[in-house]
């Protein structure tokens, strides 16, 4: 849904830019000011479980940003072979940390256990070695470094010399600062959520502020809906790459200053809780990262179909027409959504009795559910203050709301005056789950969309419901504050000494959100917990949905934090229907894969205002390959469903036609993400880490290891210049077209209006099906295996995988009797071609009657004919209906010379997916 600033953002963009430039100058100049002389290590000892515990004493007290904490405790531990933790906190007093029940992890020793015990047994060594990483420290002023043992490379170094523009360690109650030096050629990624105009690679001197905020995603270089204080660092030494990652697990607001040769954290509370992940590949990094924060949630199969939404489907008949028009246009559609149009007065868990009468809605849902379609609606965290509203009354009775001065904090969102549930309170989680259950009995929705959960508030400060006037008035924009409000600046939480660059303009941190001096469960301050609000709502919503019918939950959340991917998918918020926003969407999507939130996408065609017909053509050609693929538009925008223009409908049929054929591949990537954290959509450097030319490439992306999307992102273009890393690539639109490059090349590809270029890399086996208009139907069709070898190779191997299951079971796993996993292999050696499978738990696929109808092998040496085709040792030719065709490849601007290569296709095989098979033949 539109946020309160979105529609005026265009008018204010120039003002914001001016203020932003000013704020950047202020922040930059303040960054050059050194604060104090750091801390001295006064004792250090080893714990019984092999960790280090030390105590640090401040060297010189300063008053800037408040008094220094005089004594700190630092704790370092190699928690796994590839993960090091460094934790620094007040030695005498417990400080706020991200709750251990939200992100389960090891706890450092209690302060009472360490302050006396370990001071008496100092150790002299200054190095602490693990399997992959080496931690070392300097005593005075205290600093630490982390090195990679295999090559001695320094990954993090907090030393500050007199010539450095940053301070030594600073630790005050509301201001923490630490820096690391970086090599000039390091490529950094992460530190989101923000819209990065320069692409996915972090750009020196761009502002990186982390504080969950409801400002439109059209705002560049500003803190948006999520906070992910981690970055991946990719380095290339003489053609050999290594990657690592650094997580600062801290939910307080922070500025991160990246200067190219250094990176400085300035944080307004909490502790320093660093985790270092050794990699050394990008995939290893995400595997290690998600093993700590939580593996991505398994998504149901239908979630990978196409979704349609709009804020402004005023009644049920409009929704019914949308579904019918998609069917008439022969455009695939799996899920239809409602923004708040279905609600009674914008209130959560309600139905509008006039526009969405329950009997008619239930009839509609029975109809779409019978063919496999799904229905999802929105809920916002703000609960309307209304004495006749059961959800609110039960909330009051269970004492679930965030408090301010002992009373539920009053805010305004769409229904008017609201209170915000405190999802850190176990009673709230139980109440929320019960409300979800009650609503599901009213309307059997298939998932929930949680929005406005940064949390967004149309007002600021301490508010009261006005007397003698209606609020909201029911006319004009719904996001105008109509409560009687007063600014709150009386506490140091509402007006902290250091001002982060909130909203890109150093806005007060309580502006248009919950007052930061408001109180959660057990006295937790909103000041500390602000950026985990949406995350905590995702956890509660996941728990609530999991208890209904035993189905796999689907949740879409706007606000996210470290670990949100374990519970929810994400869309990138309120974007614009512009070419620039189309381009930005790729970088944001790729970042979220690194953050452990692989199910991500942007509003296709843009949320507002009206996209052009050409832009919508090109956007569906990108959006069809987002992991989460949804068209969504604003109340005030003209209709933009994909059938509204004939040309867009054609592009949608083409692009979504490909998507629905590769659904088995996408769903298998979903399984891999859940098992290892591997992103579904990835930057090219994930597959080609040694190929430095792709480190800052943000206009192309991969699905999995091997499927490359090279879209048109500029107006009026009918060609696209695409980078092809070394190897052989095959067009998915025409398997006979190949591009082979020895060292990597750019190729200008034809891309007329209805065409998106998709290429499959060598050494791959891609499982495809025949597509359809609904994923439920598409997944029952016969399979095709596309096998790719390096063009003309006389020896080679190719691999692929296929995971199939009963996709609405809560868990995605093998061994439950409702899943099948297939390893696919192919080899070419001495003229012999072999394609075979190794099946685990084959019964499920056999019971479903799934078959492989055809196998196409690409890139074979074309000098001779095919002979002696056998399936499981038995001849095929002459004794079956199998058809064999050989087609010569066309080499497009590649470097394969005059070598003739061919594709061999076998059709009519009828091989059961659930059984091992081996197909062989001779070439030449």
In this structure, the chain runs to a length of 924
* Residue found by looking up tokens 């590949």 in the block: 281
780-795 burial, b if ≥16 CB within 10 A, otherwise e? ebbbbbbbbbbbbbee
Q: Tens digits of per-residue pLDDT, 430-469?
A: 999 999 999 999 999 999 999 999 999 999 999 999 998 8
- Per-residue pLDDT band for 636 (boundaries 50, 70, 90) equals confident
Nearest to 160 by CA among 147, 173, 149, 169: 169
Nearest to 573 by CA among 600, 599, 537, 539: 600
Residue 114 confidence (pLDDT) = 67
Residues 569-583 have a mean pLDDT of: 97
Report d(CA 391, CA 395) in Å as an integer: 6
Q: Tens digits of per-residue pLDDT, 76-108?
A: 999 999 999 999 999 999 999 999 999 999 999
DSSP 209-251: EE------TTSBTS--S-BEEEEEEEEEETTEEEEEEEEE---
Nearest to 50 by CA among 116, 131, 115: 131
52-65 burial, b if ≥16 CB within 10 A, otherwise e? bbbbbebbeebeeb
Residue 528 confidence (pLDDT) = 98
- Per-residue pLDDT band for 26 (boundaries 50, 70, 90) equals very low
Contact 520, 402 (CB under 8 A): yes
Q: Tens digits of per-residue pLDDT, 746-782?
A: 999 999 999 999 999 999 999 999 999 999 999 999 9
Pairing type for strands 143-148 and 757-761 reads: unpaired
Three-class SS state of 669: helix
Asked if residue 19 has pLDDT above 80, the reply is no
Q: What pTM value is reported for the model? A: 0.96
Residues 505-526 have a mean pLDDT of: 97
DSSP 489-549: -SSTTTS-SS---GGGTT--TTTTS--TT-B-GGG-BHHHHGGGHHHHHHHHHHHHHHTST
Number of other CB atoms surrounding residue 825 within 10 Å: 16
What are the residues whose beta carbons fall under 8 Å from the beta carbon of 755, sequence distance 6 or more?
621, 654, 733
Q: Higher model confidence: residue 2 or residue 850?
A: 850
What are the residues whose beta carbons fall under 8 Å from the beta carbon of 160, sequence distance 6 or more?
34, 38, 141, 143, 166, 167, 168, 179
Residue 895 confidence (pLDDT) = 63
Report d(CA 59, CA 44) in Å as an integer: 17
Contact 222, 228 (CB under 8 A): no
Three-class SS state of 148: strand
Residue 36 confidence (pLDDT) = 86
Asked if residue 560 has pLDDT above 90, the reply is yes
- Per-residue pLDDT band for 25 (boundaries 50, 70, 90) equals very low
Contact 446, 555 (CB under 8 A): no
Residues 590-614 have a mean pLDDT of: 97
Percent of the chain with pLDDT strictly greater than 90: 89
Pairing type for strands 170-171 and 254-258 reads: unpaired
Q: Tens digits of per-residue pLDDT, 836-878?
A: 999 999 999 999 999 999 999 999 998 877 888 999 999 987 7
What are the residues whose beta carbons fall under 8 Å from the beta carbon of 258, sequence distance 6 or more?
188, 191, 202, 203, 204, 205, 206, 208
Residue 558 confidence (pLDDT) = 98
> Residue 564 carries which DSSP code?
G
Report d(CA 577, CA 314) in Å as an integer: 22
Asked if residue 739 has pLDDT above 80, the reply is yes
Q: Tens digits of per-residue pLDDT, 706-724?
A: 999 999 999 999 999 999 9
Cβ-count burial of 398 within 10 angstroms (0-12 exposed, 13-18 middle, 19+ buried)? middle
Asked if residue 5 has pLDDT above 70, the reply is no
Partners of 277 in the beta sheet? 83, 245
Three-class SS state of 416: strand
Nearest to 366 by CA among 331, 321, 320, 303: 320
Asked if residue 124 has pLDDT above 90, the reply is no
Asked if residue 2 has pLDDT above 70, the reply is no
Pairing type for strands 890-891 and 832-840 reads: unpaired
Residue 119 confidence (pLDDT) = 52
Q: At what angle do helices 426-442 and 533-546 cross, to 10 degrees?
A: 50
φ/ψ bin of 549: left (φ > 0), alpha (ψ from -120 to 50), beta (otherwise): left
Q: Which two structure tokens, joined as six digits, stand for 812?
A: 């995605």
> Residue 341 carries which DSSP code?
G
Angle 234-222-710 (CA atoms, 0-180°, nearest 5)? 50
Q: Tens digits of per-residue pLDDT, 882-919?
A: 999 999 999 987 666 668 999 999 999 999 999 999 99
Q: Which two structure tokens, joined as six digits, stand for 194?
A: 């923000």
Contact 667, 704 (CB under 8 A): no
What's the chain's average pLDDT? 94
Residues 48-59 have a mean pLDDT of: 96
Contact 654, 642 (CB under 8 A): no
Q: Which residues are catalytic, by number?
A: 451, 454, 574
Please report, for residues 62, 606, 626, 635, 644, the alpha-carbon distance to residue 640 in angstroms, rounded to integers and kept in the order given.
Answer: 58, 9, 18, 11, 6
Q: Tens digits of per-residue pLDDT, 312-326?
A: 999 999 999 999 999
Three-class SS state of 296: coil
Residue 469 confidence (pLDDT) = 87
Q: Which two structure tokens, joined as six digits, stand for 886?
A: 């050989």
Q: Which domains does the chain have, with CATH numbers?
A: 38-293 (2.60.40.1760), 301-669 (3.20.20.80), 683-923 (2.60.40.1180)
Q: Which two structure tokens, joined as six digits, stand for 641?
A: 């469903």
Residue 30 confidence (pLDDT) = 40
- Per-residue pLDDT band for 817 (boundaries 50, 70, 90) equals very high
Residues 738-744 have a mean pLDDT of: 94
Q: Tens digits of per-residue pLDDT, 343-354?
A: 999 999 999 999
Q: Which two structure tokens, joined as six digits, stand for 144?
A: 């630490």
Residue 380 confidence (pLDDT) = 98
* Residue found by looking up tokens 């809605």 in the block: 361
Strand locations in 280-366, DSSP E? 306-308, 335-338
């Amino acid at each position: 849904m539109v946020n309160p600033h979105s529609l005026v953002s265009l008018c204010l963009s120039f003002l914001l830019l001016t203020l932003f430039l000013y704020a950047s100058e202020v922040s930059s100049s303040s960054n050059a000011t050194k604060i104090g002389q750091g801390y001295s290590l006064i004792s250090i000892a080893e714990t019984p479980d092999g960790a280090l515990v030390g105590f640090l004493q401040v060297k010189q007290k300063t008053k800037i940003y408040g008094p220094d904490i005089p004594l700190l405790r630092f704790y370092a531990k190699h928690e796994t072979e590839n993960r090091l933790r460094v934790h620094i906190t007040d030695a005498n007093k417990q400080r706020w940390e991200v709750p251990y029940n939200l992100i389960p992890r090891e706890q450092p020793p209690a302060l009472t256990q360490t302050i006396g015990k370990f001071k008496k047994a100092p150790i002299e060594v200054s190095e602490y070695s693990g399997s992959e990483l080496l931690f070392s420290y300097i005593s005075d002023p205290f600093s630490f470094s982390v090195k990679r043992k295999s090559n001695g490379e320094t990954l993090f170094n907090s030393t500050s010399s007199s010539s450095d523009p940053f301070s030594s360690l600073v630790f005050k109650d509301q201001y923490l600062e630490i820096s690391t030096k970086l090599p000039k050629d390091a490529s950094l990624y992460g530190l989101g959520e923000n819209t990065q105009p320069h692409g996915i690679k972090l750009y020196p001197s761009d502002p990186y502020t982390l504080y969950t905020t409801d400002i439109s995603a059209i705002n560049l270089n500003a803190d948006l809906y999520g906070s992910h204080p981690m970055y991946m660092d990719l380095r290339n030494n003489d053609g050999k790459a290594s990657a690592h990652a650094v997580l600062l697990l801290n939910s307080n607001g922070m500025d991160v200053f990246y200067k190219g040769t250094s990176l400085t954290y300035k944080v307004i509370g909490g502790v320093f809780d660093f985790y270092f992940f050794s990699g050394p590949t990008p995939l290893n990094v995400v595997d290690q990262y998600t093993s700590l924060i939580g593996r991505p949630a398994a998504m149901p199969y239908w979630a990978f179909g196409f979704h349609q939404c709009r804020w402004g489907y005023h009644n049920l008949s409009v929704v019914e027409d949308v579904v019918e028009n998609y069917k008439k246009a022969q455009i695939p559609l799996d899920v239809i959504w409602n923004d708040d149009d279905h609600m009674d007065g914008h209130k959560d868990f309600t139905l509008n009795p006039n526009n969405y009468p329950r009997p008619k809605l239930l009839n509609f849902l029975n109809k779409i559910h019978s063919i496999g379609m799904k229905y999802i609606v929105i809920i916002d965290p703000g609960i309307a203050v209304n004495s006749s509203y059961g959800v609110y009354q039960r909330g009051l009775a269970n004492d679930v709301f965030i408090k301010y001065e002992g009373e539920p904090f009053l805010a305004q969102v769409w229904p008017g005056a609201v209170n915000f549930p405190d999802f850190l309170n176990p009673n709230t989680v139980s109440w929320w789950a019960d409300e979800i259950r009650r609503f599901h009995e009213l309307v059997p929705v298939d998932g929930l969309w949680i929005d406005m959960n940064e949390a967004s508030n149309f007002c600021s400060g301490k508010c009261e419901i006005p007397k003698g006037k209606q609020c909201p008035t029911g006319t004009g924009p719904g996001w105008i504050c109509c409560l009687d409000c007063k600014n709150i600046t009386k506490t140091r939480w509402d007006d902290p000494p250091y001002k982060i660059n909130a909203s890109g303009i150093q806005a007060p941190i309580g502006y248009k959100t919950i007052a930061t001096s408001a109180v959660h469960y057990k006295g937790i301050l909103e000041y500390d917990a602000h950026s985990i609000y949406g995350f905590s709502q995702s956890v509660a919503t996941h728990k609530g949905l999991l208890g209904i019918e035993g189905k796999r939950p689907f949740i879409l959340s706007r606000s996210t934090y470290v670990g949100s991917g374990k519970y929810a998918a994400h869309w990138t918020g309120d974007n614009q229907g512009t070419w620039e926003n189309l381009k930005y969407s790729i970088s944001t999507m790729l970042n979220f894969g690194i953050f452990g939130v692989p199910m991500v996408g942007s509003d296709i065609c843009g949320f507002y205002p009206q996209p052009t017909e050409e832009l919508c053509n090109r956007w569906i050609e990108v959006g069809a390959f987002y992991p989460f693929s949804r068209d969504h538009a604003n109340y005030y925008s003209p209709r933009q469903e994909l059938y509204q223009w004939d040309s867009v409908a054609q592009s949608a049929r083409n692009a979504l036609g490909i998507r629905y054929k590769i659904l088995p591949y996408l769903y298998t990537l979903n399984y891999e993400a859940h098992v290892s954290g591997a992103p579904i959509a990835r930057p090219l450097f994930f597959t080609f880490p040694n190929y430095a030319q792709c480190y800052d490439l943000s206009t192309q992306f991969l699905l999995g290891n091997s499927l490359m999307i090279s879209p048109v992102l500029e107006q009026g273009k009918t060609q696209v210049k695409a980078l092809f890393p070394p190897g052989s690539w095959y067009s998915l639109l025409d398997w006979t077209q190949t591009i082979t490059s020895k060292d990597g090349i750019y190729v200008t590809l034809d891309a007329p209006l209805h065409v998106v270029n998709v290429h499959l890399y060598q050494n791959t086996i891609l499982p495809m099906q025949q597509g359809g208009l609904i994923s439920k139907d598409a997944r029952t069709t016969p399979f095709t295996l596309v096998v790719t070898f390096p063009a003309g190779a006389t020896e080679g191997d190719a691999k692929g995988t296929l995971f199939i299951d009963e996709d609405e079971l809560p868990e995605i796993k093998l061994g439950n009797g409702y899943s099948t996993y297939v390893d696919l292999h192919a080899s070419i050696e001495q003229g012999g071609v072999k394609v075979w499978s190794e099946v685990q738990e084959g019964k499920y696929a056999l019971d479903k009657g799934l078959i492989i109808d055809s196998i196409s092998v690409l890139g074979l040496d074309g000098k001779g004919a095919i002979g002696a085709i056998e399936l499981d040792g038995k001849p095929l030719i002459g004794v079956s209906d199998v058809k064999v065709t050989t087609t010569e490849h066309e080499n497009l601007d590649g470097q394969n010379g005059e070598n003739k290569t061919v594709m061999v296709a076998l059709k009519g095989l009828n091989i059961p997916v659930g059984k091992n098979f081996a197909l062989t033949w001779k070439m030449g």
